[in-house]
Amino acid sequence: MTAAEQTPSIILFGGSFNPPHRAHFRIAHAALAAFSPAQMQIIPSGQPWQKPHVTTAAHRLAMLQLAVAEDQIHWRNEHNADYPISINTLEIERDTPSYTIDTLSVLRESMPNARLIWLLGSDQLANFHTWRDWRDILNHTHIAVAQRAGHELTAAQLSNTTLRDYYQAHHCDVTSDAWREQAHGLFIEFPTPSIAVSSTQIRNAIKNHLPTPEIAKSVQNYIIQHNLYK
């Protein structure tokens, strides 16, 4: 095994987590398996500029902590190993809108030699060109593109010409050695299971008093206690 193969990857999973649900963790586990050896930092957004009407950061962080605690129990029971996921609150602690480029600049400064991999759903990839300084983001990190079964996205489907050209020239499959040998700048495709749930669907279910089996019981109780999503 080469030195590059032995270097752990730091997977960065950003999002509003409004609320967090078990599908988030299925994607997280798929990424950890695909990029092993790896650790993961979940980064809840403080003021997501593309989602201005989310639940407060304090509530979303509290729910995420409960969801992570549940997932940690399942992980240790299944893997009999240390839990590789932690929560990084740097965006919540910032009193400005949450821009990924700012977050990555801070993380890169604190981890200059780490291999950073930003986790992105294929649905988000289509809008990646709207992110602030998206080209500069790729100077700090690779982008892991979660290709969900049944919802795979190809470069040809990207509507923005600049992003499409970059993606075509700088993407690889997770089975390639390229992303281990290159410090940053690649879109890396990896498979994830088909996921038929979203935070939007869960919020609508709560509003309409429908069952929400995809969120942890502790998160359900928190939502009821604080009368969220009504």
Q: Are 44 and 73 in contact (CB under 8 A)?
A: no
Give the whole-angstrom CA distance, residue 101 versus residue 127.
Answer: 15
- In sequence order, what are the residues at sequence separation of 6 or more whose Cβ sits closer than 8 angstroms to the Cβ of residue 210? none
Q: Is the pTM value of this prediction over 0.85? A: yes
pLDDT score, position 194: 76
Please write the tens of the pLDDT for every residue from 65-101. Answer: 999 999 999 999 999 899 999 999 999 998 888 899 9
Please write the tens of the pLDDT for every residue from 136-165. Answer: 999 999 999 988 766 677 888 899 999 999
Q: Are 143 and 186 in contact (CB under 8 A)?
A: yes
The beta strand positions in 32-76, using DSSP E, are: 38-44
pLDDT score, position 6: 63
Residue 131 scores a pLDDT above 90: yes
Please write the tens of the pLDDT for every residue from 3-60. Answer: 555 677 999 999 999 999 999 999 999 999 999 999 999 999 987 655 656 899 999 9
pLDDT score, position 4: 58
Please write the tens of the pLDDT for every residue from 196-209. Answer: 788 889 999 999 99
